[in-house]
């Protein structure tokens, strides 16, 4: 199976439905769960984007979620919060609050549109319909606010002689029926026993009392203004709310949890929404300073008297109330705080900012926080496409979310809903936003019923590998650095005794720079995978049936059996390359370790080609690490090496089996520089790296140890590697296995792979696939243990093994030196970031900042991130920069006009010709099919950096990474890092620098340059190779070297004897010169008819040889290609 996969959905018991929610803007799921994303989505994973519908209409229960569908919402009041005692989404939730509160012998209850105060008290008042927030009281005893959503019964009171009817619900709201009991005789009445003078006196007293109370209220508000802080306009969340992920510029990229929260920018909110909200809630919004003073005084007096909290009237006060709700402020002077906060908000922010904050924080029902989430869950459209009729329907939900106005819920009251909607539409006419004829053209809208209530989204975008709810990298980092678990992020406080850490609503700011991320996506994306469609553009499966999810559609393959891209992005760096090729890139800031851009593909539910789950042999890009070790051990850039190809090494011999490691014929076990054959080749370390020679790198590994290279690589940023090995079971049967090694900062490694548990069952990951990183059992020598089926045995905990404890080749052989063992694009970007930062390592990471639901910054735990650790001498790093500064692309067209360094890499293809291998008539691949030419390459790399940014770019075959790729001319035999991967790197870096033009931080910076006279001009590798090559470069440059003196004497003796002279051990005595001198003028041209050659004679220059010149980049590096782990179902 190819290692390019489409992740299957998790098993049904994990509660994840098949398919993926649609995505329009930035991968957000507009559409039902069966629609495919309109974003490029190759590598589709299982499950709908954004979860599943809860309650009776949902599918199987979500893991770690309430069995009632979406998690119940806390009882919040009064700004768009779910009903008390109800589950927020799904008809399987508990009914809206029907509880009762009693005072004395009377009772007050709220049913589905009626409330009564009865019992033995004299008279009764009934209240129909969902009135505005109010209270029911009998005498001075308060009857609690029973509510459905946040719409509650209006005020009904029973005095000593009266029952006051409830307040009317206002225009457009359902009428609230009430009555006034006729007053009897006596004081206060108009009967003959009443005293008119007393009545006037009591009225005057009431006026003075009221004025006094209002004075106290005004003083309270004025005093509160002084002490009240100004809340932010973002970053505040309710308890139990989903946690949100933001890019570095504050734009929301995704979320995780059970409630959907989307944050829209001010410019993205259409006027249809803001005008409908203002017309309904606050027609003087653009005129006042934030406070309705009369309404606030009335509410404050009510609160001081002990009544229930009453709602504010202006939009600004309502936003202030939302903030206080989120902060759980229920103090008696809350109304004063709301007013004071509103005044300060108006003083600091523009009206547009305030209304945007309101629309982003309000709860609209259906699990939707924010107007953009509401647009999705009510009408399945992008926010900018919301029409007036839809906007009116949505904004009216704030007063009764999940209640009377939404036909999805059992509490729906058609009359109340249509009345409220008509009132809002008429208000738009009255405020001049619609003409009557335009208003008459709108009809009461019908919202969708198949919305998805889950708050997890963003996983099917290009940043989805970081934040997707299945296995996004951010979750491990949040746990390790901040101690935040998934339950904490989701807001699952019901299962944790209401621990505030589990309140949810965390705001996670990522390190991802949106301009850099966009540059990587523009460079890398090639569009969707080609699939079968009909003439109407509908997807077709393998049977020709119409399917709604693109992941279910039949893929259109090349003749070789590869999936291919639609190539719809003409700006992609690979736009002119074969359509089965793709790239992956990671961009890291050297000074901080922050990952500023990450592109492993267009869809985070696919296979991440930039991460550890799909590692690639780094090939010659790893030679920078090997050179770093040599320089750190005292060698210099001018140290000499034998670069013969082929070159023999004793460590390639397996004498017990009379075999060679890596090929060749025993006992002549040799290593080559790619496909090149060239003897008598000697060069300095600088040239060995620049000309990408393998044999000198192998020599360095032999001299200092592959384990030393690995330890240094880990210190520079390497976190994982993969190795294919052949292991024997207890019956001595061979099995080929793939092992993932995790490298730890204490010099140890752990081993992982696909395993079976104690019951023999396959260990699977969160996606239902074999877990390729399961902890596996090892023996006392750190050798993995396998069963008779060749499967690893799961361990309770991975065993740390010391690097090098088993010798210089523990755990990797000397081929590590030139990049044989696969690792991730991220790790290579991190390694080069260390070089770019003059040898100081900063651990790569995705999280920049975390705040809780009250806006408090959460500090990371100490010592959980390695920063500012010097791992290379500055001189070593600067010399590596200098070496890499001369390694560029194939043409000058892809060279930056500023200082940079880098290294190319190419790794050869392995296996058998695909067209034969995939032929149904092929029964025995090994005997019927030809192996790929050793001129074919499967991987191409370029890793490079400027002082501000390190970027690693890999190019390969999207379907099978061991199969060949081609250059832009379609030629498979001329693929190099310089003509395939370096143009990708150049394109990405150029787009980034264009985007950052004008930003001083990104102005050109220059390297400090080479450090001369550092290290020793060693030549130990020349000695290890048996001495200098005869007539080689080493002795030509080092004639006085002791190794070359002996060679010079030998050459002189041979020349002396050949000329007939006598050699006495030091000097030559020539023979008598009796030969005639040459005739003719040595400068004469050959006579006519002669074919003389103007070289080769004693008087002419020697002829040029037919040896090939050393290219800057060799052909594909040879070696056993180790494929990354396949995505397979257990």
Per-residue buried b or exposed e for 1037-1055, using 16+ beta carbons within 10 Å of the residue's own CB: ebeebeebeebeeeeebee
pLDDT of residue 328: 58
pLDDT of residue 62: 34
Q: How confident is the model at residue 1071 (pLDDT cuts 50, 70, 90)?
A: confident
pLDDT of residue 698: 98
Closest CA to 903 of 645, 683, 1113: 1113
- With respect to residue 1057, please indicate whether it lies within any of the assigned structural domains: yes
- With respect to residue 714, please indicate whether it lies within any of the assigned structural domains: no
Query: Which residue has tokens 């061979």?
Result: 734
Q: How far is CA 179 from CA 103, 135, 174, 886, in A?
A: 20, 16, 16, 92
- Mean pLDDT, residues 972-980: 95
Instruction: Please tell me the least confidently modeled range out of 759-768, 848-857, 879-888, 1112-1121.
Output: 1112-1121
- Mean pLDDT, residues 1106-1114: 40
- With respect to residue 1056, please indicate whether it lies within any of the assigned structural domains: yes
Q: How confident is the model at residue 602 (pLDDT cuts 50, 70, 90)?
A: very high
- Mean pLDDT, residues 352-374: 92
- With respect to residue 1044, please indicate whether it lies within any of the assigned structural domains: yes
CA distance 405 to 421: 9
DSSP code string of 1030-1065? TT-HHHHH-TTSHHHHHHHHHHHHHHHHHTT-EE-S
Instruction: Please tell me the least confidently modeled range out of 152-156, 461-465, 754-758.
Output: 152-156
Residue-range definition of the domain harbouring residue 1059? 1039-1069
Q: Are 611 and 465 in contact (CB under 8 A)?
A: yes
SS3 of residue 351 by DSSP: helix
Q: What's the pLDDT tens digit per position in 396-428?
A: 999 999 989 999 998 899 999 999 999 999 999
- Could you tell me whether strands 106-110 and 100-103 are parallel, antiparallel, or unpaired per DSSP bridges? antiparallel
- Mean pLDDT, residues 912-923: 87
Radius of gyration of the chain (CA): 38
pLDDT of residue 201: 59
- With respect to residue 30, please indicate whether it lies within any of the assigned structural domains: no
Q: Which stretches within 606-742 are classed as H helix?
A: 623-632, 685-690, 694-704, 706-716
Q: What's the pLDDT tens digit per position in 494-509?
A: 677 778 888 888 999 9
Mean pLDDT score of the chain, rounded to an integer?
A: 78
Query: Which residue has tokens 């006596």?
Result: 186
CA distance 470 to 771: 13
- With respect to residue 1052, please indicate whether it lies within any of the assigned structural domains: yes
Q: Is the pLDDT of residue 1074 over 70?
A: no
Provide long-range contacts, Cβ within 8 A and 24+ apart, for 124-127.
Answer: 124/163, 125/156, 125/158, 125/163, 125/164, 125/165, 125/166, 125/178, 125/179, 126/177, 126/178, 127/153, 127/154, 127/156, 127/165, 127/166, 127/176, 127/177, 127/178
Q: What's the pLDDT tens digit per position in 472-483?
A: 999 999 999 999
CA distance 290 to 279: 16
CA distance 798 to 763: 14
Residue with more model confidence, 616 or 1098:
616
Q: How confident is the model at residue 169 (pLDDT cuts 50, 70, 90)?
A: very low
- Mean pLDDT, residues 677-702: 96
CA 602 to chain CA mean position, Å: 11
Closest CA to 984 of 582, 621, 703: 582
Closest CA to 746 of 666, 802, 662, 820: 802
- Mean pLDDT, residues 548-559: 92
| Domain total in the chain | 1
pLDDT of residue 405: 96
- Mean pLDDT, residues 855-863: 91
pLDDT of residue 81: 31
- With respect to residue 1048, please indicate whether it lies within any of the assigned structural domains: yes
Q: How confident is the model at residue 191 (pLDDT cuts 50, 70, 90)?
A: very low
DSSP code string of 880-902? HHHHHTT---SSGGG--SS--EE
Distance linking the first and last C-alpha atoms of the chain:
13
Cis peptide before 964 (omega within 30 of 0): no
Q: How confident is the model at residue 491 (pLDDT cuts 50, 70, 90)?
A: confident
CA 450 to chain CA mean position, Å: 28
Q: Is the pLDDT of residue 448 over 50?
A: yes
CA distance 847 to 837: 20
Q: Is the pLDDT of residue 220 over 90?
A: no
- With respect to residue 1053, please indicate whether it lies within any of the assigned structural domains: yes
CA distance 722 to 810: 13
CA distance 217 to 13: 58
| CB neighbourhood size of 453 (10 A) | 25
pLDDT of residue 1073: 53
DSSP code string of 45-101? -SS-TT----GGGS-SPPTTS-TTSSPPPP---SSS-PPTTS-SSSTTSPPSP--EE
């Amino acid at each position: 199976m190819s290692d390019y996969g489409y992740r299957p959905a998790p098993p049904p018991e994990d509660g994840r439905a098949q398919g993926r929610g649609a995505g329009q803007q930035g991968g957000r799921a507009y559409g039902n769960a069966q629609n495919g994303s309109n974003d490029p989505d190759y590598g589709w994973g299982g499950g709908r984007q954004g979860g599943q519908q809860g309650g009776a209409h949902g599918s199987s229960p979500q893991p770690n979620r309430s069995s009632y569908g979406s998690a119940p919402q806390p009882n919040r009041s009064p700004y768009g919060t779910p009903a008390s005692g109800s589950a927020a989404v799904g008809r399987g939730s508990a009914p809206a609050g029907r509880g009762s509160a009693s005072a004395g012998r009377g009772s007050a209850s709220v049913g589905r549109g009626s409330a009564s105060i009865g019992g033995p008290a004299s008279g009764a008042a009934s209240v129909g319909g969902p009135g505005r927030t109010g209270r029911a009281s009998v005498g001075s005893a308060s009857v609690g606010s029973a509510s459905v959503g946040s719409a509650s019964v209006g005020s009904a009171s029973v005095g000593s002689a009266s029952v006051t009817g409830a307040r009317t619900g206002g225009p457009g709201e359902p009428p609230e029926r009430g009555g006034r009991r006729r007053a009897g005789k006596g004081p206060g009445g108009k009967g003959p026993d009443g005293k008119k003078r007393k009545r006037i006196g009591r009225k005057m007293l009431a006026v003075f009392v009221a004025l006094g109370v209002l004075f106290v209220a005004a003083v309270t508000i004025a005093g509160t203004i002084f002490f009240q802080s100004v809340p932010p306009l973002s970053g505040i969340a309710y308890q139990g709310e989903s946690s949100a992920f933001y890019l570095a510029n504050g734009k929301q990229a995704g979320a995780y949890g059970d409630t959907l929260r989307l944050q829209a920018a001010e410019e993205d909110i259409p006027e249809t929404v803001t005008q409908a909200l203002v017309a309904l809630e606050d027609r003087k919004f653009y005129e006042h300073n934030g406070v309705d003073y009369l309404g606030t005084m009335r509410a404050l007096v009510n609160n001081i008297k002990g009544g229930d909290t009453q709602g504010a009237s202006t939009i600004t006060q309502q936003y202030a109330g939302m903030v206080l709700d989120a902060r759980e402020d229920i103090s008696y002077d809350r109304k004063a705080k709301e007013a004071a906060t509103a005044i300060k908000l108006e003083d600091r922010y523009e009206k547009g900012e305030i209304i945007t904050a309101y629309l982003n924080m309000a709860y609209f029902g259906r699990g939707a926080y924010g107007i953009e989430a509401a647009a999705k869950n009510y009408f399945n459209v992008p926010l900018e496409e919301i029409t007036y009729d839809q906007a009116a329907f949505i904004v009216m939900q704030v007063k009764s979310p999940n209640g009377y106005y939404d036909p999805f819920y059992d509490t729906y009251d058609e009359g109340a809903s249509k009345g409220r909607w008509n009132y809002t539409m008429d208000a738009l006419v009255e405020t001049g936003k619609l003409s009557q004829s335009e208003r008459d053209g709108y009809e009461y809208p019908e919202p969708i019923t198949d919305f998805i209530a889950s708050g997890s989204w963003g996983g099917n975008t290009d940043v989805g590998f970081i934040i997707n709810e299945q296995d996004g990298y951010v979750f491990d980092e949040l746990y390790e650095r901040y101690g935040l678990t998934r339950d904490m992020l989701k807001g699952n406080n019901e299962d944790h005794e209401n621990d505030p850490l589990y309140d949810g609503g965390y705001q996670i700011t990522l390190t991802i720079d949106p301009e850099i991320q966009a540059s990587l996506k523009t460079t890398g994306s090639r569009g969707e995978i080609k699939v079968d469609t009909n003439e109407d553009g509908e997807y077709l499966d393998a049977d020709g049936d119409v399917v709604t999810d693109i992941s279910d559609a039949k893929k259109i393959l090349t003749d070789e059996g590869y999936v291919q891209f639609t190539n719809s992005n003409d700006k992609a760096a690979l736009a002119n390359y074969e359509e089965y090729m793709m790239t992956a890139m990671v961009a890291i800031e050297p000074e901080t370790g922050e990952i500023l851009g990450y592109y492993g593909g267009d869809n985070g539910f696919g296979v991440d080609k930039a991460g550890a789950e799909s590692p690639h042999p780094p090939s010659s890009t790893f030679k920078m690490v090997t050179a770093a070790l040599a320089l750190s051990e005292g060698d210099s850039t001018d140290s000499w090496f034998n670069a013969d190809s082929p070159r023999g090494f004793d460590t390639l011999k397996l004498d017990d089996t009379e075999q060679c490691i890596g090929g060749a014929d025993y006992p002549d076990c040799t290593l080559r520089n790619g496909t090149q054959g060239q003897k008598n080749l000697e060069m300095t370390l600088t040239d060995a790296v620049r000309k990408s020679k393998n044999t000198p790198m192998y020599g360095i590994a032999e001299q200092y140890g592959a384990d030393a290279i690995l330890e240094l690589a880990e210190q520079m940023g390497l976190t994982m590697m993969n190795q294919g090995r052949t292991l024997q079971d207890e019956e001595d049967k061979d099995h080929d296995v793939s092992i993932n090694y995790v490298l730890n900062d204490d010099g140890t490694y752990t081993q992982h792979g696909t395993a079976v548990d104690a019951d023999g069952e396959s260990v699977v990951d969160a996606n239902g696939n074999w877990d390729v990183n399961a902890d596996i059992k090892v023996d006392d020598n750190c050798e993995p243990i396998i069963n008779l089926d060749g499967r690893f045995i799961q361990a309770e905990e991975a065993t740390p093994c010391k690097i090098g404890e088993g010798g210089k080749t523990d755990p990797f052989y000397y081929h590590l030196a030139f990049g044989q063992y696969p690792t991730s694009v991220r790790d290579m970007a991190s390694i080069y970031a260390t070089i770019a930062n003059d040898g100081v390592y900063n651990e790569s990471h995705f999280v920049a900042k975390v705040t809780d639901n009250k806006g408090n910054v959460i500090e990371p735990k100490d010592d959980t991130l390695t920063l500012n650790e010097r791992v290379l001498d500055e001189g070593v790093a600067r010399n590596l920069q200098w070496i890499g500064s001369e390694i560029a692309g194939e043409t000058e067209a892809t060279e930056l006009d500023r200082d940079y360094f880098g290294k190319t890499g190419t790794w050869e293809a392995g296996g058998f010709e695909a067209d034969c291998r995939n032929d149904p008539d092929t029964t025995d691949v090994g005997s019927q099919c030809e192996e790929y030419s050793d001129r074919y390459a499967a991987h191409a790399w370029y890793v490079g950096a400027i002082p501000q940014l390190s970027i690693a770019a890999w190019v390969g075959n999207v379907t099978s990474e061991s199969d060949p790729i081609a250059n832009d001319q379609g030629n498979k035999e001329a693929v190099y890092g310089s003509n395939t991967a370096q143009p990708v790197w150049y394109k990405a870096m150029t787009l980034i620098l264009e985007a950052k033009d004008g930003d001083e931080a990104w102005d050109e910076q220059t390297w400090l340059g080479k450090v001369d006279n550092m290290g020793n001009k060693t030549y130990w590798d020349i000695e290890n190779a048996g001495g200098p090559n005869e007539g080689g470069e080493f002795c030509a440059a080092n004639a006085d070297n002791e190794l070359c003196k002996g060679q010079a004497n030998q050459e002189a003796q041979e020349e002396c004897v050949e000329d007939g002279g006598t050699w006495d051990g030091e000097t030559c005595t020539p023979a008598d010169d009796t030969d005639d001198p040459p005739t003719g003028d040595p400068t004469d041209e050959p006579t006519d008819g002669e074919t003389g050659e103007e070289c080769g004679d004693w008087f002419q220059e020697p002829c040029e040889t037919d040896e090939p010149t050393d290219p800057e980049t060799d052909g594909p590096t040879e070696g056993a290609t180790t494929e990354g782990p396949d995505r397979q179902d257990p």
